[in-house]
Amino acid sequence: MTAVQGTDVDITTEDGTTDAYLAHPADGLPHPGVLLYQDAFGIRPRLKSMADRLAGAGYTVLLPNVFYRSGRTPVVELPEFIDPSADPTIWQRLMPIMMSLTPELSDRDSGAYLDWLAESPLVADGPVGITGYCMGARLAMRTAAAFPDRVAAAGGFHGGRMVTDDADSPHLLAGRVTAELYFGFADQDQSMTEDQIRIFQEALDAAGVRNTCEIYRGAAHGYTQADTTSYSAAADERHWAALLDLLKRAF
């Protein structure tokens, strides 16, 4: 693995300033850009370590605090090991913040993140890759649809609510996507049933989107997050193999 440098950066958006974590190979040269979208628990050591691992594979990785309107990191104080069943107040504190990030706001923000990557001397010219976790999988899909000419590939892992009855359901955006997509769904995830997974993949296929949708058997929502009770080491390593293969094809 390549030596990695990590720094904290600020990004100007239409609505304020996002704090973010930037990880990149320590050689200081431009590398393909990857936008890493957080899960609901936000920027913390686990996500930074994931950004570092991606950077070690040869990418410049931007991890923005998508909840910046509610404060800088940490937006919500969390224990080192997250167990919502032991502390129900975690979701009580997070849910209003999550709900406040509307599709309109997230699309506006994603443009700012892509602009920042495009202007960075550490990022190679051309479209970027995206990876997103839990709610970040929805953001990955939305960004790929909102900026099709700027996204080469997007991965989403243990994403929930990718198919809803809402007019802005992520699966309805398939026709706008030109990137290659990969989604790894957890089979033990009430927020994304197998019927919903089928509908999601049918929408991608009907739109002619290059895609792979896989179900990770025995995995729970949040299977990549080693600092939570949902973690699965086997599913996590499967996710890394799939993500790195996706990015290798794109770049």
Name, in order, each residue with C-beta under 8 angstroms of 177's C-beta and a sequence gap of 6 or more.
141, 144, 145, 148, 154, 204, 207, 209
115 classed as catalytic: no
Q: Which is the catalytic residue, given 52, 109, 134, 158?
A: 134
Point out the catalytic residue in the list 39, 109, 189, 227.
Answer: 189
From 31, 158, 221, 239, the catalytic residue: 221
Q: Please name the residue that has the structure tokens 């899909």.
A: 141
Q: Active site includes 134?
A: yes
Which sign, positive or negative, has the C-alpha torsion 139, 62, 246, 186? Answer: negative
Q: What is the CA 60 to chain-centroid distance, rounded?
A: 15
15 is catalytic: no
Peptide bond into 74 cis (omega under 30): yes
CB atoms within 10 A of CB 21: 22
Active site residues: 134, 189, 221
